Amino acid sequence: MPDIPKTAKAVVFDECNGPIRVDNEHKVVQPSELKAGEVLVKLEYTGVCHTDLHAWKGDWPVPPKCPLVGGHEGAGRIVAMGDGTDTQLKIGSPVGLKWLADSCLNCEACLGGQEATCANAKLSGYTVDGSFQQYAVSYAKHVTPIPEGLAMEIAAPILCAGVTVWKAIKQSNTKPGDFVVISGAGGGLGHLAVQYATAIGLRVVGIDTGDDKRKLLASYGADDFIDFKQHTGKGKLIEEVKRVCGGEGPHAAIITSAGGAAYNEALEYLRPHGTLVAVGLPPNTTINADVFFTVFKALRIVGSYVGNRQDAIEALDFAARQKVKPMLEIQNLDKLPEVYERMEKGGIAGRIVLKC
């Protein structure tokens, strides 16, 4: 059994919008304190998702627990397990922590493979402490096995961003050759959505802003890029999206933007029978659907919330086969506050991953 220190580093905040502090002497849960089903994971890398920023800002209707160690894209190895834990995983197994830390596995949602909507779901970095630390407690039934040979820093962003967009694509009602718009395409979720969509043969139009993001998405084989800041007049973005999608608009639009404006015109640029997949979670935002056109164009609006255990395995498999490769900038765990500042400005192309 590996040596487990009594304390280690964690990044903590005590209240939403309050100071974010690096605690170098954060208590590490000891193996003897773990309950059956719990695992202690020594984290190597963690991605920073915009959800973590929403959590710190208290953006959503139900605030996170406080004090909180955020983070839910953690990659590391199991170093201890509670007595009586029933699992195939072993000490040393590489595993990932996801947003969904635990669920009951017995309710209608869980039995139907919709674990995220389990009434007893535990959420990493929201209702339980997450991955912005060196040692985290998680749950054997929900940690995701990371394929041997896949680098931990590559696995990390797949564990939320990758899983979520892979699931969203599966819910988009598209087939190879169809047009899909990814709005927020240059961000953490979006740049992976472009890659998964391209990998399965969709024609991808990215919407975001700036030349860095334009170049990044072109390197993944996106068919078009629309800079939303260059199409600001009334109806201009709708016109441009329709134009690049064969004149009729896309078969689906997956909104991964962290800003509400991306939702505004999506229903208007979709082609008949098109699907709007809502993924981004801007605060206080509503989707305005004109009833007449929703009916006459037979549109679908679908909310897509992370993915289940199998979606996570599939999402990592794309990365292991190098069909999908996150664009990473690696920083130290201590840099979380600076990362949030840059994220708030929309200035990150791809994902920032922190070394734990």
* Residue numbers at the binding site for ligand 8ID (CB under 6 A): 49-51, 54, 160-161, 164, 183-184, 186-190, 207-209, 228, 256-259, 261-262, 279-282, 304-306, 343, 346, 348
Q: How far apart are CA 108 and CA 113, in angstroms?
A: 9
Q: How far apart are CA 68 and CA 143, in angstroms?
A: 20
Contact assessment for residue 23 and residue 70, using Cβ atoms and an 8 Å cutoff: no
Q: What single string gives the DSSP state of each residue in 175-195?
A: -TT-EEEEETTTSHHHHHHHH
Task: Give the nearest residue (CB) to ligand 8ID.
Answer: 187
Instruction: Give me the residues paired with residue 40 across strands.
Output: 80, 137
Q: Which ranges in 275-335 belong to alpha helices (H)?
A: 291-296, 309-320
Kindly state the smallest distance separating residue 54's Cβ from ligand 8ID, in Å: 5
> Is beta strand 144-145 parallel, antiparallel or unpaired with respect to 94-97?
antiparallel
Burial (Cβ within 10 Å: 0-12, 13-18, ≥19) of residue 196? buried
Q: How many residues bind Zn ion (CB under 5 A)?
A: 3
Which residue, 174 or 304, is less far from ligand 8ID as judged by CB?
304
Kindly state the smallest distance separating residue 164's Cβ from Zn ion, in Å: 7
Q: How far apart are CA 258 and CA 251, in angstroms?
A: 22
Pick one of 160, 217, 312, 315: the residue that binds Zn ion (CB under 5 A). Answer: 160
C-alpha radius of gyration, the chain, whole number: 20
Which residue, 85 or 164, is less far from ligand 8ID as judged by CB?
164
Which residue, 163 or 349, is less far from Zn ion as judged by CB?
163
Kindly state the smallest distance separating residue 38's Cβ from ligand 8ID, in Å: 24
Q: Which of residues 43-62 bind Zn ion (CB under 5 A)?
A: 49, 51
Which residue, 85 or 138, is less far from Zn ion as judged by CB?
138
Which residue, 54 or 142, is less far from ligand 8ID as judged by CB?
54
Question: Under the criterion CB under 5 A, does residue 143 sit at the interface with Zn ion?
Answer: no
Q: Which residues bind Zn ion (CB under 5 A)?
A: 49, 51, 160
